A and B are shown apart, each in its own frame.
Chain A
Amino acid sequence: QVKLHQWGAGLLKPSETLSLTCAVYNAPVSGYYWAWIRQSPEKGLEWLGEVDHRGITNVNPSVKGRLTISIDTFKKEVSLKLTSLIVTDTAVYYCARDPAPRGGGGFDFWGQGARITVSS
């Protein structure tokens, strides 16, 4: 069974940088996009961006300039860095698999989520 396990710091201050990592088990990283999605009561589910096994990324314009997504194909880990944090970045952050490059659609496997709070 495909499993995504994610980790990263939970409480941060404004202007700091959020770093999250997502490890992929029982699936290849090639042939998929690996996405980061966040969820908050204010904004709902928000797709932040994605990376493929070549390191090619797509990023939501709402966070462009602050978001970096990368992949380590050897470790099968996907990472997120979100800089210059503001209070409204507070959310539960998920990593998820997107089978789009294989012709599929929808995010078929998700990490367990990481609750991130940005507060002074």
Chain B
Amino acid sequence: EIVMTQSPATLSLSPGERATLSCRASHNIRNDLAWYQQKSGQPPRLLISAASTRATGVPNRFSGSGSGTDFTLTINGLQSEDFGIYFCQQYSDWPPRTFGQGTRVEVK
């Protein structure tokens, strides 16, 4: 099973700042990585697939990068609606498909 590790656990930032979230895979997953945003009481929302391809309707302030084992989600110019929890997920080697434990982006 591929283990996904996210850091940091919590990111405290002010609106307008840049958020940089990391995700590391225990094995090479090429670029088979997705990022999700989740807000309280809602299901996760797909933001990015194939490590860097934004899903339909996702603002271009969200960008993803990386391949192999190390990946980054960057949010440029945090908006109030961007605060929440972000998860990465690999779909390279399954079953099982696996998720990271999440990074909480909170208002500083």
Q: Is the Cβ of B95 less than 8 Å from the Cβ of A106?
A: no
**Chain B contact patch, size range:** 20 to 34
Say yes or no for B44: interface residue by CB 8 A criterion: yes
Say yes or no for A26: interface residue by CB 8 A criterion: no
Say yes or no for A110: interface residue by CB 8 A criterion: yes
The DSSP consensus for interface residues of chain B is loop
Task: Report A-chain residues with C-beta under 8 Å of the C-beta of B1.
Answer: 61
Closest to B45 in A: A110
Closest to B94 in A: A58
Closest Cβ–Cβ distance, residue B80 to chain A (whole Å): 23
Q: How many residues of A contact B (CB 8 A)?
A: 24
Closest Cβ–Cβ distance, residue A34 to chain B (whole Å): 13
Say yes or no for B11: interface residue by CB 8 A criterion: no
Residues of B within 8 A of A (CB): 1, 32-34, 36, 43-46, 48-50, 55, 87, 89, 91, 94-102
